[in-house]
Amino acid sequence: MLLTDKVCLITGAASLRGIGRATAKLFAQHGAKVVILDLDAGQAEEAARAIGEGHLGLACNVTDKAACQAAADEVVSRLGRIDVLVNNAGITQPLKFMEIEPGNYEAVLDVNLRGTLYMSQAVVPQMRQQRSGSIVCMSSVSAQRGGGIFGGPHYSAAKGGVLGLGKAMARELGPDTVRVNSITPGLIQTDITGGKLTDELKVEIAKGIPLGRLGVADDVANACLFLASDLSSYITGAVIDVNGGMLIH
């Protein structure tokens, strides 16, 4: 029970097969009070009920600064504190460099990078007041290897921005005992690939992964649990690779 009575917010966690939902379920198993944030209030509430009693589901568009603040305020009002934030909400688009239009750029950068900024800004005052907190930012192996999987170059740019933002936040918030770390998943079998991950493609990709398989959402959830818990109390500004050895550097 690594998170007993800790209040943990997870953005983009309503999707049944997603990393956010797997993380929410694992956190609940470790005693956390989980708050699932997603665009649709009904889906967020349903996801919260699915992981057990005493958890919350709230609507929140992470690209809207006021919505992030409202969600954080409601959590503090109802649960009294915020111990962990997992910035999981994200979208991708499989576009080539010259195919990226302004709308594509804005959509991907907004959710992945602006959303990480706004949601973190919303919870930091409470964490500073408590003089404790852990923020986990979801980047991607695409940021490290320059794409080449499913996301386009603008996705790599957004996730690279997440890494830089997370490190800068860690440096600034360290004196307040607020830790900030990032996770860089490899190819994880979730719905974000939009059905493009065929069985044949899975076999081909797995040939280039030392551990011989693609990742699943629980693999990333386990890393989130480590970074959220006191097991990582002296770790901040770090990047944890969860890619089966796809990228060893």
Exactly one of 105, 118, 155, 234 is catalytic; name it: 155
- Token pair for residue 123? 């919870």
Q: Please give the pLDDT value at position 35.
A: 98
Mean pLDDT of 87-97: 95
**Mean pLDDT across the chain, nearest whole number?**
96
Q: Tokens 């109802």 — which residue?
A: 78
Confidence of residue 193 (pLDDT cuts 50, 70, 90): low
- Domain range annotation of the chain: 7-241
CA pair distance 48, 40, nearest whole angstrom: 12
- DSSP E strands in the chain: the ranges are 7-11, 33-38, 56-59, 84-87, 133-138, 178-185, 239-242
Mean pLDDT of 217-222: 98
Q: Is 132 helix (H, G, I), strand (E, B) or coil?
A: coil
Mean pLDDT of 141-149: 91
Q: Please give the pLDDT value at position 192.
A: 65
Contacts of residues 157-164 at CB distance under 8 Å and 24 or more positions apart, as own/partner, are 157/109, 158/108, 158/109, 158/112, 158/113, 159/112, 159/184, 161/109, 161/112, 161/113, 162/87, 162/112, 162/113, 162/116, 162/137, 162/138, 163/137, 163/139, 163/239
**Class of the 7-241 domain?**
alpha beta
Q: Please give the pLDDT value at position 20.
A: 97
Q: Please give the pLDDT value at position 10.
A: 98
pLDDT tens figures, 53-67: 999 999 999 999 999
Mean pLDDT of 81-86: 98
Whole-number Cα distances in Å, 233 to 2, 179, 230:
12, 8, 5
Predicted confidence (pLDDT) at residue 195 exceeds the cutoff of 70: no
Q: 155 catalytic, yes or no? A: yes
Confidence of residue 249 (pLDDT cuts 50, 70, 90): confident
CA pair distance 177, 168, nearest whole angstrom: 14
Predicted confidence (pLDDT) at residue 221 exceeds the cutoff of 90: yes
Q: Please give the pLDDT value at position 80.
A: 98
Asked if 178 contacts 128 with a C-beta cutoff of 8 angstroms, the reply is yes
pTM exceeds 0.95, yes or no: yes
